[in-house]
Homo-oligomer: A and B are copies of this chain.
Amino acid sequence: MPRIVDREERRRSSADAVFRVIGREGMDAVSLRDVAAEADLSMGSIQHYFSTKDEMLLFALNHMRARVITRFEAKLARMKNPSKRQYLRTMLNMLLPTDDESRQEATVNISFFASSVNNEQFRELLRQGYAGLLVAIELQLQAAADAGELREGMDSKTEAAQIFYTAQGLIGPVLLGVTTPRRAVALLDAHLDRIFRD
């Protein structure tokens, strides 16, 4: 049986198992035994692919970013000739917990954030994630500004920050059910309306 497996693929699918456990029972419940069971592996196998639990979680956090990017690009590919506004809207809406997959990702992200209190590596990865998203939004908005698509008096950096943080702030309340995905999307659309020309 050995050697017929792709090592990285095994690590990725184990990370997916980690996400399912976190999404179902929270980060506290993530034990090597639980992850092994969820991934249909023995605990020895998990140990074979990850030197420590910390390394497993760190890999999982890295894998999460790749997963989100993949999901974003898949959504973009489904649109033909997306406008800059559509591009932005897609990116922002993707952050919101609208279906099972995005709910799981949001839950996992918050769990890692909480765990980052005593893990500088987690903090650094999360920092990069936030910064990368913000820059991507800034770039897109700046391009829209250059193309004359924005209303008068709009500072693209300020607007990028405001709409990004609004989306970020919506994640928790939507997860809890304080507001609905529909209302969250409408709020972001109202913001986009204010930024873009008709």
The reply on A126 being an interface residue by CB < 8 A is: yes
Copies of this protein chain in the complex: 2
The reply on A169 being an interface residue by CB < 8 A is: yes
Interface centre among A23, A24, A110, A117 (most CB of B within 10 A): A117
Asked if B169 contacts A114 (CB within 8 A), the reply is no
A161 to B27, CA, bound (A): 30
Query: Which B residues are in CB contact (< 8 Å) with A171?
Result: 169
Interface centre among A22, A110, A167, A176 (most CB of B within 10 A): A176
Asked if B178 contacts A131 (CB within 8 A), the reply is yes
Quick one: closest B residue to A162, CB to CB? B166
Query: Which B residues are in CB contact (< 8 Å) with A115?
Result: 26, 28, 114
The reply on A118 being an interface residue by CB < 8 A is: yes
Asked if A25 contacts B117 (CB within 8 A), the reply is yes
Given the interface pairs A162-B166, A166-B166, the reply to whether A118 lies near B26 with Cβ below 8 Å is yes
Q: How large is the interface on A (under 10, 10 to 19, 20 to 34, 35 or more residues)?
A: 35 or more
Query: Which B residues are in CB contact (< 8 Å) with A25?
Result: 117-118
Asked if B172 contacts A170 (CB within 8 A), the reply is no
Quick one: closest B residue to A124, CB to CB? B176
The reply on A49 being an interface residue by CB < 8 A is: no
Within A112-151, which residues are at the interface with B (CB < 8 Å)?
113-118, 123, 126-127, 130-131, 134
Query: Which B residues are in CB contact (< 8 Å) with A126?
Result: 172, 176
The reply on A71 being an interface residue by CB < 8 A is: no
The reply on A191 being an interface residue by CB < 8 A is: yes
The reply on A86 being an interface residue by CB < 8 A is: no
A171 to B107, CA, bound (A): 17
Quick one: closest B residue to A115, CB to CB? B26
Asked if A123 contacts B176 (CB within 8 A), the reply is yes
A167 to B162, CA, bound (A): 9
